[in-house]
Structures are given as C-alpha cells and as structure tokens.
Structure 1
C-alpha cells in the first residue's frame, strides 16, 4: 500500500518536520494545500496524506488541472448531463463523484479558472455542486488536497486567484523544501534510486558511487529537485560498468560537442520595440548564444553594461529584457571579481550553488573567461 510513498526518504531536519506535519494532518477531514517547486514530491505527499487517513480504503483520485482547458476541467471535475454540449450523449460522473468518501488530489491548482474556483469553494463549504448542464444538486463527502508551485497569496492579492478559496484550502499548508536545502539527503536518495535501477537492470548489486561522483552530486544545485536527481542517477547507473562504482555523472544529457544548434526563432511582433529600448552595444561587442536566444555582450569597461533604459517604449518583451539585464549583471560581477565565482556570488548576494545555476542557465560556463 505504501509503495506509492516510498520515495519520501530523507534525514534532513526540514524534511523530518514535514513528515511529522503530514502525520498530524492525515487523520483530519480538512483540506490541505501542498506547496513546492517542481520535482519536490508534492504528489507523494498527497498520497501519504490519503493513505495515512481514515479514508485509506476509499478511492484516491488525482487530476492535473494544467493538462485540461477550462471547459474540459469543469466537466472532468463535476461531470455533465446528457445534452450539456455537443457530443454529450449521456450523463457522466466527474472526479468529485468518483472520490466520494475518499480523497481528491488536484495538482497545479493555480491554473484553474474563476468559474472552477467558485465551484470548488462551494464543494468545500457545503459538499455539493451541480453537473455541467444540470440543475440537480449532487452531494459528496470528499477530502480535497491541492498542490501548486505558484505563490498563491500573491496571486490572490493581484486578483488572479480567489482569496476566499485560498482561505478555505489553507486549513494548513505543507511547504516542501527544495533538494538544495536538503543537502544531507542527496546521497541517500541517490543510493535509493541507484539500487532500484540496478535491480531493474538485473544487476547482482549496486557497487556504489566513486568520490568524484559523490562530489558532483553534492555540488550541483538541482533545480529539478528529486525528479531530476532520479533521472541523473538512473542514467549514470545504466551507462556504468556493472562491476565498478559509478564514476561519471552526466547532469545534462544534451551536453555534447556535436549538439546541433536550434533553429532561429522568428522575431516577436514587438521585436522592434525591444531593439529600440536595448542599450546600444559598442563596435567590439561579441554576439553570444545564451539559452537559445541571441544576446549582445558589451565589452566596454568604462561603465556596467547592465544599464536599464530610462524611458521604455511599450510594448516590450519583458522576459528578454530581464534576461539581458541578468546576464550583463553577472558578467560585470565576474569581471570585477577577476572571474572568481565565490567572490562573484557574494557580490550578487547569491550562494555559490545559486550562481552556478545561473551560469549553467545562461551557458556562461562554456565561456572561457568564466571557466
């Protein structure tokens, strides 16, 4: 039964506190909100909440809200009556009815529309709803667990998420720490995934990690968290000789000197505005490819290249302008630190591993000046 949650492994204090919180929450028939970055195990936490509850013998139903359009999501959650729309030849029950007496887990909750949020609020408050195209009230007893990697309080302040629904959902909030904040758990999880992969490959045993492999695993910042760690470890095990400790760790499977360059994207409709608002580059500036986008590197040492235009002409490509600004700021800090990454991280108020993440994100590790 608990095989669904056996990846909830760790000894870090922050993680053990989460397990204790789950144990206290599980027996209650109250909604729970699970918050965490991608790959931290939100679905595993939700499953544990169900299987440790009094509802463990009843249905545990899951739905990813980001995978469906608004109209399909409403029909999937609440069902529909015959004739409700074209193609609805007969009545269909929704996920809430399937989960009656059990638990419904809604992932990516922040993607729901205002209409769906309103109906969710009614189910939580009164335990009732109406199917799409219907007028008869359907009553259910469902425990709702929702998850997201978004900052819901900020979305609610900005009017992008119903504040009253957030209040109802947040009886208690389980916030899962990212893997970079659980450094002492990295090797424990890596051993677990490696052993499972060795069994899948029908190896006699897993021969462990070399010192270099362990250092590589510990030094990486894991933006994809446990999901990324699992992929990296399983890839390393299957590529490795079954009789030797794992030595080579490939973080990025796309990394290769033979990697083809991506197609050049057509400029966005507002490209001219971006060009007008970007600071002019000196004649000796070098063009570099960063994260698949064309950016311009200023070589002038007289002033920082990360200058923000005083008068922007809208519309602009905010993501592109922000990315240009980040890259220029990192390069300036590297230059002033004589390309010492630890000093650069201090200048930018980042940890060393966070800086390494930015350097990798913008392909600056390939630049000989940053090596």
Structure 2
C-alpha cells in the first residue's frame, strides 16, 4: 500500500519491465489519454497510479472506476453523474467520477465492457472536455487526464463492430503494454521473496526461512496465467501454511484446490446415482429391448405405439398394476398415464378394483 500522493513501489529488474517503466516515465507529463494493455494481474492499475503520481496532477484526485462492476445504465450515471429525478430512486443530484476527478486523473478499468452509447459520451468528453449529467441539459466541463485499461484486443473488437474505432484512436495516443510474468523470469523470485517477507511481517514471524532449490524450480517452471496477482496469492498462502517451520520452504502449492479428495465433476457418459424418491424405485423395471436392426419398410407410427404400449405394460406389471406407481416409474402424471391407458384400450386389462386399493 502506498501513501497518499506517493508513487507506488514497483519491483522488477527484467529488461522488458524496465522498458515499460521508462515508457511510463516519458508520458507522465503529457496531458493526453493513455491506454494500458495487459493480461489480468499484470499491474495495470499500478501503472495508472504511477502515471498520476509522477505527473503534475499528483496533488489532485486519482479517481478509479471498474467499468465491468456496474450495468451500463448505472455506469453512465456513475461516470457523468445524474440530476434529481433522472430515474427511479434518483432523489438528489449525484456528482459523477469526471466531476470528482477535475484537475486530476480518472482511471477506467475493463474498458472493453463499456456500451456503445457510453463510448460515444466518453468520446465527446475526450474531444471537447464536456459532458452532461444523466437527465440534465446543462453542459459541464472538467479538466481530467484519462487512463484506460483493458485485457482484450481492442483493435480486434473495433474491427468486429464491438468498440468504436474513433474512440480507440483517441484513447491510443499512447499505449503501454505490460509483459506477462512468464516473460519476466528474472523477476519471479524477486517478487516471491518480497511477498514472503511482507507476509512474515504480517503474521509476526521472526524471519523468512527462504525457498529451497525445489521450490525455486517450481516458481520458475509455472506459467503464471494470473501473473503477479496470482504469484502474490500463492506466496502469501504458502507462508501462512508454512508458519514457524524453521526449514526452507520446499514445496509451493500453487493450486489451493489440490487434494486427494478433490471433488471431480462426473463425465457425461457416466450414469450418476440418483437419490431414491420412494421405495418404489428400489427395484427398477427392466428396460424394454428394441430391435436395433428393424425390417424395413415398416409403419413408423404403429411401431412407436407398440413400443409405448410395451413400456406401459412393463411398468404396470412391475408395480402389480398400481397405476399411480406405474406413472411415477414412467415419469408421467397419473392423468397422463390414464389417458394412455384409454388410448390403447388397456384399462380392461387392469385387474378389477385396483383403483380402490390405490386410494
């Protein structure tokens, strides 16, 4: 955690990461939008903070907004504000993020989730510095430096008609692309030790015992799809489980679900054991065998009716002609079964007075 008005601490010595830091330093003083691109967990928000606190706007507000956190109607209201009565529940005027960020920086994360209508309003603000509150008619202005972030290919989305090309052109005045952790091999152990020391301090442990050669090999051989965020979680969990063990950490449990008793989703071709709905299901009727190689030509309707009758007869025999229980075995309602019995004139084959026993 960084102090207010202080650039966040960054950790890394790999060439590709140092190049990114140099790139960020060059654009901090420009009052133009910056687009930060990278996989999840690579530190896009960290770059946004660095862009703000190393700029002349460092003493003003840094306002953050995750565009995926709200539906589009609420997002538009949260960004631009709304007037009282603009919609149900809007009892008073609400100041949006652009107004609150006046003189400072607005960071928009998950930009690709923004609707086309909101994109159009954002484009107008970038071009003219103007906007209107939802439900309002007064044109407002704000001096805001915009930093946006995404983990998807925006040019591809634009080509697919899912993102405005003109907005992309404005946002991409400069693009900072963050390298994934697997491309920063030199930084993996450096980051792991940093998070380990922080966790030891948080837990009140006397010292960090270090990583064994086997643990280091695990750290370097894993691809880290969640990048730095995933590494941080893995190391902190590892320290919390290792506790005050005086030996060096010899195994990194990367997957928290790893267990000999891990739940496994049954495959689609495996018949699941169904719970008994009643004692009637303890003995299931034998399935009616059908001829896999019927003699053609045949009367399709007649063959289907014959098969349906054979199923009904088998269910009745299985339940000793208890029609309600037979309907349950067939997955039918009682009235559906009664209709089929009448259709095929099977009621007369049912033993006398069986209905009286069912009631």
SS in 2 for 1:61: strand
1:35 is matched with 37
1:258-297 alignment runs, 5 A limit? 258-262=261-265
Cα distance between partner residues in 2 of 1:264 and 1:120 = 47
Report if the CA contact (8 A) 1:5-1:44 is conserved: no
Residue 133 of structure 1: how far off its partner (Å):
0.4
- 1:204 alignment partner, one of 203, 206, 210: 206
Residue 262 of structure 1: how far off its partner (Å):
4.1
2:76 is matched with 74
Residue 238 of structure 1: how far off its partner (Å):
1.2
Query: Structure 1 residue 103 and structure 2 residue 105: aligned?
Result: yes
Residue 241 of structure 1: how far off its partner (Å):
4.2
For residues 30-52 of structure 1, give each alpha carbon's deviation from its aligned partner in whole angstroms, at most 9, with x where no partner exists.
Answer: 10000000000000010110000
2:52 is matched with 50
Compared CA separation, residues 204 and 29, structure 1 to 2 (3 A): same
Residue 206 of structure 1: how far off its partner (Å):
1.1
- 1:253 alignment partner, one of 243, 253, 256: 256
Query: Structure 1 residue 88 and structure 2 residue 90: aligned?
Result: yes
Report if the CA contact (8 A) 2:205-2:243 is conserved: no
Report if the CA contact (8 A) 1:40-1:176 is conserved: yes
Alignment size in residue pairs: 267
Compared CA separation, residues 14 and 20, structure 1 to 2 (3 A): same
1:208-357 alignment runs, 5 A limit? 208-242=210-244, 243-262=246-265
1:184 is matched with 186
- 1:158 alignment partner, one of 157, 160, 180: 160
2:313 is matched with none
- Structure with higher Rg: it is 2
Report if the CA contact (8 A) 1:78-1:130 is conserved: yes
Cα distance between partner residues in 1 of 2:17 and 2:7 = 14
Compared CA separation, residues 6 and 53, structure 1 to 2 (3 A): closer
1:276 is matched with none
2:133 is matched with 131
Cα distance between partner residues in 2 of 1:6 and 1:189 = 15
2:317 is matched with none
Residue 260 of structure 1: how far off its partner (Å):
2.1
Compared CA separation, residues 263 and 105, structure 1 to 2 (3 A): farther
For structure 2, the residue ranges without an aligned partner over 5 or more in a row are: 271-359
Q: TM-score with structure 2 length normalisation?
A: 0.72
1:274 is matched with none
For structure 1, the residue ranges without an aligned partner over 5 or more in a row are: 266-285, 288-371
Q: TM-score with structure 1 length normalisation?
A: 0.70
2:172 is matched with 170
Two-structure CA RMSD over aligned residues (Å): 1.7
Residue 5 of structure 1: how far off its partner (Å):
5.6
SS in 1 for 2:64: strand
SS in 2 for 1:105: strand
Cα distance between partner residues in 1 of 2:40 and 2:86 = 36
